[in-house]
Amino acid sequence: MSLKAFKRALWVYHLNTGSCNGCDIEILAVLTPRYDVERFGIMLVGSPRHADVLLVTGPVVKQMVSRVKRIYEQTPDPKLVVVVGSCGIEGGVFYESYSLAGPVDQIIPVDVYVPGCPPRPEAIIHGVVMAWVKLEKLAKQEVA
């Protein structure tokens, strides 16, 4: 994958693994005209096969473990995972629930964490930009 692709656009796939939807509402706020991340080239895509970044919200419930792994494997390399919200980082309000398999980093590798319950749209944008910078560094290493 060339470095030029990341200079132009970053395609993000959103995956809800069992959250209360508070983080999902904040992600939608990021896409509205007030924040308008598409002007920076950050686009939400409908398939993990086209994504550069997985944006994961919520703790992983037991029914989602195989699905999360499959979606992670479907995402082409180089890929990054951004976990949004306290639930995905440590379980949040669902900590020690009978239906949880654990936080996201126990299921797939995580590159960037965005804490908060729910995090503000600015924090989500900052997390995605941090992933973008990390992805550019990975692309430079591949070219070298």
pLDDT tens sequence across 81-125: 999 988 888 877 777 888 888 788 889 999 899 998 888 989 988
* CATH number at 3-143: 3.40.50.12280
| Torsional sign, CA 62, 68, 73, 79 | negative
Closest-CA residue to 58 (of 81, 82, 83, 88): 88
Q: Are 94 and 79 in contact (CB under 8 A)?
A: no
Q: What distance in Å separates the CA atoms of residue 42 and residue 39, rounded to the nearest whole number? A: 7
pTM over 0.75: yes
